[in-house]
Amino acid sequence: MERSEIKFWNGSIAVAEGALAAGCRFFAGYPITPASDIAEYMALRLPQEGGVFIQMEDEIASIAALIGASWGGAKAMTSTSGPGFSLMQENVGLAAITETPLVIAEVQRAGPSTGMPTLVGQGDVMQTRWGSHGDYETIVISPSSPQESFDLIIRAFNLAELYRVPVIFLTDECVAHMYERVVVPPKEEIEAVERLKPNVPPEEYMPFKPINDIAPMATAGMGYKVHVTGLTHNEKGYPMTTSPEVQEWMVRHICDKIRRNEYKMRDIEEYRMEDAEIAVVAFGIVGRSAKAAVKMARRHRIKAGLIRLKTIWPFPESYFESLADDIKKFIVAEINYGQVKLEVERSVHGKASVELLPKFGGAVHQPSEIYEKIKEVKNGN
Amino acid sequence: MEINATQHPMDKYLRADRIPHIWCPGCGLGIVLNAFLRAIDELKIDLDKLAVVSGIGCTGRIAGYINTDSYHTTHGRAIPFATGLKLANPEMKVVVISGDGDLFAIGGNHFIHAARRNIDITVIGVNNYNYGMTGGQLGPTTPLGARTTTSPYGNIEHPFNLCHVAHAAGAVYVARWTVLHAVRLKNSIKEALQKKGFSFIEVIAACPTTYGRRNKMPDALDEMRFYREHSVIKHGIDPAEANIEIGKEIIVGKFVDIEKPTFNDAVEELKRKVKKK
Amino acid sequence: MTYWVEEKEKNVHGRVYIIKDRCKQCGFCIEFCPQGVLKQSEEFNAKGYHPPKLVETDEKKCMGCGFCQMICPDFAIFVEREEEEDGKK
Ligand code: SF4
Ligand code: SF4
Ligand code: SF4
């Protein structure tokens, strides 16, 4: 029996090593600060593991290559930051409509536009959800530490394979660059999910007909001669560009397979929530200062708690809705001008107050800033 | 007497439930598809190991008609998609068939870089001088002076010479034919499919519906006659000398056929070298 | 590399098959048949086009070169080559 290994890794290495552990064997990317470390590390490691690394001519090409590689049968990943992720959006839609498993590691920096390339941001939450046109769903996961970068990127791959969907691993400049202890479990303890393959003869195979929400996926060379298109298509994969019924069926399918299973993807860390009256909602790097702030508040006998979202999309709406029966005050701390806050507000259906604690300037909230906000909310202004 | 038939020998390579195709009468795309299928037929390529990737546009529809693993991607992105597919699954023969606008305007960057890397794929670029599907707009190959819906006074931009671009970017095989050269086209496709590395074939094809009718060739037959009268075969010529201009001769032939290590081989070599035991 | 056009061979004839309903009347097969053995028929197909037919005069004139089947954009015509007893391949 092999034992766990202790590593001292930053969040980028942890993402790359986690991806390899999950079975990633294809990486296509384009240099961008602060995400290049992941690409550089993959360039070093992938060939050692028998995989392929390619630096493409831009981010559009990178994600197109990922979709191609995924249909070629590989587990595929890219890494990028906000501007590059913006460029990828049309093909995020292609991956969603063609139900292609892949993982995008998005290392957030301060935007908009070229913004502050070396400084942290969390302004891409809505882009991960709504970046491409039309109705679709993605899964978005956010780590707070190198350890979680390792653990959760494996989960990201598994969910991508399980639900045939692009998964965005929404990390940030701080988590990606911070070095910490990472416990790497022995190989046999890492669960890597493989996509469902068809077991029917090619004549009977319907590449987009779901069985329990998900259609088995026949990749290139398996003999199923699948047609895959970004046009609205039927269960056979054939374009149906004027059929209202097919469009409705298809859109409902690609959205509902995620919405219906939200509770299975839900991943929330609760800290001191048992008797909390004020809940601080945070994700990514801010989760850490929010936790420190909650501890400060508790030392001052303020009943604060932390809700840290590890899965951001699909948003745990019903979780917040029922929580709002007991908790009447929410603070959302995020390094942007209000994104997750909108979702929390929507989810509590007016049963609780939701306040934004934004952060500007490419920095993380200090615990004391969050603590001050908790006090302010507690005192009711 | 001619004999009435219901099945065509190439039907076995087509998705029967998707034929007839959507292309206009006299559209050259059907000829390209036919030549491609015959090349596959003659080479006895295993259809299970062939992937056809297209972008968007009239040509982009080709993928959907061929009974093989076929991928109709986003506008301009067929080549990077094909790059990923081929690298992830090296045993597949990967062919991109798409139009001039798709491959050389919106997707131009991908074309030159795939050629530069010498990715082991074949690209068949159908050049009909305009954007057919969207109604006949100006494209990167529209000849100087030609009328399109977005160059109503005549095109004032200089067009790309696609073979020159391909050659300059590093393609190992470059040829140009018109659809009238259907047999030579088929043979060229066969060569390209057997070639290791980035091979490119430009096919000049009539688009009577949106291009021809604005440029004094409303009937596809007129354009085909023009090809007959004005094309000159010049194998091995420097593609730089094969510009296309209105009313001038169209130089066709095989321009480039060289050997160069492919990206795919380099990747495999690298894996062997650094692989962890 | 050879660049060959299928040559005319002695004693080889073609049997022409037409899938009438696929024809879109582009006229390519008629125009470019080297033997001039095809012409437009009077008949309408399901789409309202006139598919080609063989000229009646000389049935054996088709030499089975296959150019019509290469040039047809609509998979509407094909030929089978027939060799006569004394013909060599
Ligand atoms: S618009 Fe032009 S390219 Fe498109 S199908 Fe018609 S003739 Fe062909
Ligand atoms: S096979 Fe050749 S000769 Fe016969 S009809 Fe066709 S083009 Fe004409
Ligand atoms: S080439 Fe084909 S479509 Fe055109 S006239 Fe002949 S049979 Fe009809």
Q: Is residue C29 part of a domain?
A: yes
Q: How many residues does chain B have?
A: 277
Mean pLDDT of A155-174: 98
Distance from residue C57's CA to the centre of ligand 3 (Å): 21
Is residue A6 within 8 A of residue A181, CB to CB? The reply is: yes
ipTM, 2 dp = 0.97
- Which CATH number fits the domain that encloses residue C31? 3.30.70.20
Give the dihedral sign, CA B238/B239/B244/B245.
negative
Angstrom distance (rounded) from CA B270 to CA C51: 57
State whether residue A268 sits within 8 Å of chain B by CB. no
CA A187, CA B71: separation in Å to the nearest integer?
35
- How far, in Å, from the CA of C73 to the mean position of ligand 3? 7
The structural domains of chain A, ordered by start, are 5-189 (3.40.50.970), 269-378 (3.40.50.920)
Each of the 89 residues of chain C gets a pLDDT tens digit; together they read 344 455 545 678 899 999 999 999 999 999 999 999 999 999 999 999 999 999 987 668 899 999 999 999 999 999 999 886 544 44
Q: Per residue in B83-99, is it b (16+ CB within 10 Å) or e — as a string?
A: bbbbbbbeebbbbbbbb
Q: What is the pLDDT of residue A2?
A: 76
Range of the domain at C70: 10-83
Q: How many domains does chain C have?
A: 1
Does residue A304 contact residue A276 with C-beta atoms inside 8 Å?
Answer: yes
Per-residue HEC secondary structure of B230-254 comes to HEEECCCCCHHHCCCCCCCCEEEEE
Residue C77 in domain: yes
Does residue C72 have its Cβ closer than 6 Å to ligand 2? no
- What are the residue ranges spanned by the domains of chain B? 22-276
Q: Which residue of B has its CA nearest to C15?
A: B2
Position A158 confidence tier, pLDDT thresholds 50, 70, 90: very high
- Angle at CA of residue A297, ends A326 and A375, nearest 5°: 80
Cβ contact (<8 Å) for A58 and B85? Answer: no
Question: What CA–CA distance (Å, rounded) separates A70 from A27?
Answer: 11
Has residue C88 been placed in a domain?
no
Sheet hosting strand A268-271, strand order edge to edge: A268-271, A304-309, A278-283, A329-334, A353-358
Three-state DSSP class for residue C79? strand
Pocket mutation for ligand 2, best pick of C37, C40, C71 (most atoms within 8 Å of C-beta)? C37
Q: Residue-wise over A70-106: b if at least 16 C-beta within 10 A, else e?
A: bbbbbbbbbbbbbbbbbbbbbbbbbbbbbbbbbbbbb
Question: d(Cα A312, Cα B168) in Å, to the nearest integer?
Answer: 47
Chain A nearest CA to B156, separation (Å): 29
Amino acid at residue number C37: V
Indicate the class that CATH gives domain B22-276: alpha beta
Q: For residues B111 and B98, what is the distance between their CA atoms, to the nearest angstrom?
A: 11
Q: Which residue owns the Cα nearest ligand 2 atom 4? A: C62
Ligand 1 pocket residues where CB is under 6 Å: B 23-24, 27, 29, 58, 128, 132-133, 207-210
Q: From C54, C55, C72, C78, give the residue whose CB has the most ligand 3 atoms within 8 Å, as the site to mutate.
A: C72
Question: What does the block give as tokens for A254?
Answer: 């690609």
Query: Alpha-carbon distance C6 to B253, whole Å?
Result: 17
pTM over 0.80: yes
Q: Check: CB of residue A153 under 8 Å from CB of residue A105.
A: yes
Q: From ligand 2's centre to the CA of B37, what distance in Å?
A: 19
**Considering the domain boundaries, does residue C5 fall inside one?**
no
Task: Choose one of C62, C72, C78, C82 to mutate for the ligand 2 pocket test, by most ligand atoms within 8 angstroms of C-beta.
Answer: C62
Q: How many CB pairs under 8 A join B and C?
A: 97
- In A, minimum Cα distance to B275 occurs at A48
Q: What is the pLDDT of residues B36-71, one digit of tens each?
A: 999 999 999 999 999 999 999 999 999 999 999 999
Question: What average pLDDT score do residues A274-302 get?
Answer: 98
User: Which ligand has an atom closest to residue B218 CA?
Assistant: 1
Does residue C14 have its Cβ closer than 6 Å to ligand 2? yes
| Residue of chain C whose Cα is closest to the Cα of B6 | C19
Indicate the SS3 state at residue B69. Answer: strand
Closest to B201 (Cα-Cα) out of B220, B215, B187 = B187
Residues of B in contact with A76 (CB under 8 A): 84, 88
